[in-house]
Amino acid sequence: MTNGEPLQPVLLDSVILIDHFNNIAAATDYLSDVREIAAISAITRAEVLTGFDSADEVTAAKLLDRFRLLPIGAEVADLAARLRREHGWKLPDAFQAAVAGHHGLDLATRNTRDFPPDRFDFVTVPYRIKH
């Protein structure tokens, strides 16, 4: 997966973790590769946990707790507002980009519709799913 190249620290977008919980092997493998250098935002945590009932939420939260949770303060909120205006992103996407940018991280996502990697150099697409 890494072709021998060192992995860069990343902010995990929600879709990567959701893929893992949906038993997508590529997502699970990627999370295993980056678990020591990956972080999540409060947006990711909320989006992922939304998909679980209360019985399964505890298990999901335990996995999320393994990743550093990056805060969203005034600087990140202001940057998210600016990015939303500039790119027309939905607010959660603007927050993801703002958190990644503020902390100097790449955003690991499969959401190439909103984050085309050829347009945004902070985007990394760690795997693709064939439909």
Distances (CA, A) of 15 to 5, 12, 111: 24, 8, 8
DSSP 3-state assignment of 40? strand
Give me the CATH code for the 10-124 domain, please: 3.40.50.1010
pLDDT reported for residue 2: 46
Domain ranges for the chain? 10-124
> Under 8 Å CB-to-CB from 131, ≥6 apart: which residues?
none
In the chain (131 residues long), the average pLDDT of successive 10-residue segments reads 65 98 97 96 96 92 96 97 97 97 97 95 94 67
DSSP 3-state assignment of 124? strand
Own/partner pairs, 50-57, CB within 8 angstroms, 24+ separation: 51/18, 51/21
pLDDT reported for residue 80: 98
pLDDT reported for residue 130: 82
